[in-house]
Amino acid sequence: MSLEINSTEQIIKIAAITLKGRLDAFEAPALRKACDTYIADEFNHFVFDLTDVSMLDSAGLAVLVSVLKRTRLKNGDVRLVWPREEAASRILKLTKFDQVFASIEKSEIVPRGF
Amino acid sequence: MFPTITDKHREMFKSLASGWILIGASCVQLFEGENVLIGCPNSIVNTEAALSVTSLTSGLTLCVYGITDANWTPAVESMLDVFSNMLTADADLDNLTAALVETQDRLVALYELTQATRRTLDMPKLLDLLIKQSKHLMNVDGGFVVLKEKGKKTIIHQISEEPLHPAHAEAAATLYLREPNRHIFKESETLPVNLKNVMMVTLPVRDEISAAVGLFNKTGNFTTPDIKLAKAIAGHIGAQLENAMLHKEAVERTRLETEMDIARQVQTAILPQTIPQIKGVDVYATSIPAFEVGGDFFDVINRSDDSLIFALGDVTGKGMPAALLMSMTHTIIKSASRNMPFDYPHQVLDRLNHDMAADFTNVGMFTTVMLGLVDCSARKLHFSNAGQSPIYHIPAQSEPVLLEAQDIPVGILDSVQYSTQSLDLAYGDIFVAASDGFPESRNPGGEMYGYERIKNLFSVSRKLPAKQIAEALLTDVNAFCGTHPQDDDRTIVVIKFEKPDENKIMFNESLTIHAEYKALREPCERLRILLKRSGVPEETISLCELALQELLANLVDHAYEGNPNGQITVRMAGSREQIAIQTEDTGIPANVNLEEIHMPAPEELAEGGYGIAIIRTLIDEVQYKSLQGKNIWTLVKRIN
């Protein structure tokens, strides 16, 4: 009896981006540009580590939403590591995006075991 | 009946006749009755024997002289036929051409009429053009137009050598409008004496107006083409008249709106945006204008670190003149309070009356004014009252007292000596200046709010801060009035004398930045520092910061559309009760109805439109005003 082997290869590119400081109208364009590059390079999964973000405004939020929209179109998704500061998480609550973005723990960014 | 005989006809006759002459005829002639129309070789009367044929249809006779053989008769008949047919055909052509030319003339005339009326919005001119053109085209002696509108005087417009009596014209129009399908009326019908014939068509304007055009005394009879033409002209003029009326109405409406708008802007531009605070006094002032622009003004001015000037006044009359006088009065008071060295308020009123009496008298108006000076270190309140009412003193420990005005309003007499009264202030004492819009407010039953209710309300509210006392009164008056609309401005200034509180938060700063994202950090950080220094909790600080950040980013994006040369002034003021943030820009006014702004739903995954909704969620009071090129956002966050 010979062994039949069927296998498929799946490559999922995940961009893990750690942000520190203010994610506001001034800083947002730089983040957007970086994400655009990743998306163009076929990264459809993003993890944004917002632990050390001191302030998040609607311009910063807009970049996150933009990435979410585009990745979901390609069957990808965005995960957030929740900010520590209330000044950053406040807007996510106010806009109810805390129910839209899935959150993960810092330790889950890199899969365990590797 | 027949066309003029032309050379072409003669040529043709000649070639037809030449055949006869060849076989021996001496002359061929064509007769109409006794007259020779054409002859070849000549038309001279001929007595020779001839073959003669007459056509019954055309009435023409052809004579061939010198031929007598009856066998030639069919040939003569044939020639007569041919020639008659040709003349008839030419006659028809002539008629057709004439009709075409006339139609073309009428079209050109109609076109010229449309050109002439295109720029005319003047009703008499349009009616003139209508009648003149119709007269000219249809060859009548005169024309008239009758315009009837319910509730208004009937308009009758006529142009003619011998005008009709207006009553006759109106009668003709009435007769016609009853049966608008019958257009032509002849003599011997129910027509007035000097009317031979009359043609009437409807002048279509708007539904509310019945109008008819009458053209009379035409040489000959009116024809169907005349009716058609008259209808076409009337139709066009009717449309122009409608235009003219709409235009007039729109102009009037705009004029009214503009006047109201300007008056309102003048008024709001003058009213103070923020109330200055000094240690030891809790001050609040506000004005709720009635629907029509009124003449109330008020102001609170910092005189020094420990003294304050406050003013309240009411200009008689409404609309533009009142608004202008009010603004002049207010400006003089402001300027005198700041620049003129005076010890007592009556000196400012003396000055005000001296400067303004002529202006007020010219328009038959006057203004009541109350001007007060609070001197915290001396613990005194000085005031001068020129006819303003009601003014209340509410001592901390006893009942409110209504203070009667000592002097007459400003602007009545040229030289008046105003007087000052002084009160000693104890902690908790309150002084209220209000406009008569309060006591004179009515409920649907016709009852007035009156002075007792005001007194009771103050008595009950004396422990509240100044702002809440004012709001309590406004709420109570509103509740009393119910569905009865507000007839007059309600303006109030509340001064509460209190112990200076060391822990009171007090700051009042402003800075100006360029409209670019990188410049937004500075005001946000400054706000954080000021609030922290004042002991405001961190949560409040961070939400105020977010609100300011969102507001400023919004202005950079929308007011200045990213133009970094735009400037934004940020003012931050704090008291122990509230934090006020105000921005002022000179960019594109925001086109917002704050009530209608909602947070986009997260499912929409919208990338924008959150800013103002976020601000409204975080901040207690959000206001936006745009006047005279300045756009002002005011955010007020209350602190517990």
> B273-497 and B507-638 share one CATH topology?
no
Enter the tokens of residue A59.
Answer: 């311009």
Chain B positions touching A100 (Cβ under 8 A) are 602-603, 605
Chain B positions touching A97 (Cβ under 8 A) are 602
User: Taking CB atoms and an 8 Å limit, are B520 and A24 in contact across chains?
Assistant: yes
Please tell me if residue B604 touches chain A, with a CB cutoff of 8 Å: no
pLDDT digits (tens, 9 = 90+) for B206-236: 888 888 998 988 788 888 888 888 888 888 8
The DSSP line for B16-72 is HHHHHHHTT-SEEEEEETTEEEEEES--S---S-EEEEE-TTT-EEEEEET---GGG
Chain A positions touching B546 (Cβ under 8 A) are 55, 57, 87, 90-91
Is a pLDDT exceeding 80 seen at residue B398?
yes
Is a pLDDT exceeding 70 seen at residue B513?
yes
Please tell me if residue B545 touches chain A, with a CB cutoff of 8 Å: yes
- For strands B197-202 and B209-218, give the pairing: antiparallel
For the segment B15-41, the average pLDDT, to the nearest whole number, is 88
Using 50, 70 and 90 to split pLDDT, how confident is the model at B424? very high
| Cβ within 8 Å of residue B26, ≥6 positions away | B46, B48, B65, B66
How many other β-carbons are positioned within 10 Å of the β-carbon of residue B129? 19
For the segment B345-358, the average pLDDT, to the nearest whole number, is 90
Chain B positions touching A61 (Cβ under 8 A) are 610
pLDDT digits (tens, 9 = 90+) for B170-188: 888 888 888 888 888 776 5
pLDDT digits (tens, 9 = 90+) for B537-546: 999 999 999 9
CA distance B126 to B120: 7
Contact B30, B36 (CB under 8 A): yes
In our burial notation (b when 16+ CB lie closer than 10 A, e otherwise), range B338-369 reads eeeebebbbbbbbbbbeebbeebeeeebbbbb
What is the CATH code of the structural domain delimited by A14-106?
3.30.750.24
For the segment B553-578, the average pLDDT, to the nearest whole number, is 89
Q: In 3-state terms, chain B is what percent helix, strand and coil (to 5)?
A: 40, 25, 35
Nearest residue, CB atoms, B549 vs list A57, A85, A100 = A57
Domain boundaries, chain B: 7-97, 119-247, 273-497, 507-638
Alpha-helical regions (H) of B340-413: 345-362
Domain boundaries, chain A: 14-106
Contact B414, B360 (CB under 8 A): no
Which portions of chain A are predicted below pLDDT 50?
none
Size of chain B in residues = 640
pLDDT of res. B503:
44
pLDDT of res. B196:
79
Using 50, 70 and 90 to split pLDDT, how confident is the model at B309? very high
Using 50, 70 and 90 to split pLDDT, how confident is the model at B549? very high
pLDDT of res. B243:
84
The lowest-confidence range among A102-106, B244-248, B365-369 is B244-248
For the segment B260-269, the average pLDDT, to the nearest whole number, is 63
CA distance B589 to A20: 35
User: Taking CB atoms and an 8 Å limit, are B553 and A59 in contact across chains?
Assistant: yes
What is the CATH code of the structural domain delimited by B507-638?
3.30.565.10
CA distance B371 to B52: 123
Enter the tokens of residue B416.
Answer: 């008046």
Name the closest residue on chain A to residue B555, using Cα atoms: A25
Which is higher by pLDDT, B510 or B344? B344
pLDDT of res. B589:
92
Which is higher by pLDDT, B118 or B37? B37
Q: B207: burial class by Cβ within 10 Å (0-12, 13-18, 19+)? A: exposed
> Dihedral of CA B401/B402/B408/B410: which sign?
positive
- Chain B nearest-CA distance from A107, in A, is 27
Is a pLDDT exceeding 80 seen at residue B191?
no
Residues of A with CB under 8 A from a CB of B: 22, 24-26, 55, 57-59, 61-62, 65-66, 68-69, 85-87, 90-91, 94-97, 99-100
Contact B64, B76 (CB under 8 A): yes
pLDDT of res. B236:
85
Share of chain B above pLDDT 70, in %: 94
Using 50, 70 and 90 to split pLDDT, how confident is the model at B555? very high
Using 50, 70 and 90 to split pLDDT, how confident is the model at B267? low
Is a pLDDT exceeding 60 seen at residue B505?
no
Chain B positions touching A90 (Cβ under 8 A) are 542-543, 546
Nearest residue, CB atoms, A25 vs list B520, B605, B618 = B520
The lowest-confidence range among B155-159, B383-387, B440-444 is B155-159
CA distance B239 to B206: 9
Contact B632, B625 (CB under 8 A): yes
Interchain CB contacts (distance < 8 Å): A and B: 70
User: Taking CB atoms and an 8 Å limit, are B549 and A24 in contact across chains?
Assistant: yes
The lowest-confidence range among A29-38, B259-268, B274-283, B616-625 is B259-268
Cα-to-chain-centroid distance, residue A7: 30
User: Taking CB atoms and an 8 Å limit, are A94 and B550 in contact across chains?
Assistant: no
Helix (H, G, I), strand (E, B) or coil at B6: coil
Nearest residue, CB atoms, B602 vs list A57, A90, A99 = A99
Please tell me if residue B618 touches chain A, with a CB cutoff of 8 Å: yes
For the segment B295-321, the average pLDDT, to the nearest whole number, is 84
pLDDT of res. B189:
62
pLDDT of res. B506:
65
pLDDT digits (tens, 9 = 90+) for A53-73: 999 999 999 999 999 999 999
The interface pTM score, or ipTM, of the predicted complex is 0.91
pLDDT of res. B269:
59
For the segment B548-558, the average pLDDT, to the nearest whole number, is 96
Mutate to test the interface with A, among B541, B604, B607, B619 (most CBs of A within 10 A): B607
User: Taking CB atoms and an 8 Å limit, are B549 and A100 in contact across chains?
Assistant: no
Using 50, 70 and 90 to split pLDDT, how confident is the model at B502? very low
Q: Does domain B273-497 have CATH number 3.60.40.10?
A: yes
**Domain B119-247 adopts which CATH fold?**
Beta-Lactamase (3.30.450)
Using 50, 70 and 90 to split pLDDT, how confident is the model at B114? confident
Tell me how many helices (H) and strands (E) chain A has: 3, 4
